Amino acid sequence: MSGEWQKFDLGGAGLQAANLRLSRLLRKRAVAWGLLLLFPAGAHGWYLREPLTGTTFPALALAAAAGFTGDWPYFLWPALGGLTLLLIRDILTLENRIVACNKKLRTSVYLSQGAAAPPGYRGRFGASDNPGNEQPASRIPTFAEQETLLREIAARKRENRGKSQ
């Protein structure tokens, strides 16, 4: 299916609007893996909304560059070791972190939809878990029961009209 549906602006707080907003926000695997190639800049960390990763990589890269240009091996080797360890960790955990980031985005988009529950709402409960001895909500009448009820109401109205004349 083409991406034409993503160009519509439905606005409002409906499910379609939420899905459109979510499709724009979700992090793509290919982009995250491509940005991992720029690991000294920490671009993949910022893409996945991980500020610690986004700042640690550049800090270590700057320390390694300072150690290399200043001929300070006590900066160079620990910084290169840290970069290597973090890169290995990111290669091994990137898929799970993409999924976790997308899950956070999905949760925030869907929970921001619509109005909150009415005051005092406690969710559904049955007779067995009825707090405070309150009567549980009756079930919704079936279509046939609703038709019968409407016929009875109409018959009562006809009787009342006949009596009043």
94-126 pLDDT, tens digit per residue, is 999 999 999 999 888 877 766 666 677 666 655
CA angle 74, 75, 81 (to 5 degrees): 95
Comparing CA positions, the residue from 101, 124, 128 lying closest to residue 44 is 101
Q: What band does 56 get if pLDDT is binned at 50, 70 and 90?
A: very high
123 against 128, higher pLDDT:
123
62-104 pLDDT, tens digit per residue, is 999 888 888 888 878 888 999 999 999 999 999 999 999 999 9
Residue labelled with tokens 């005051």: 119
The predicted model scores a pTM of: 0.58
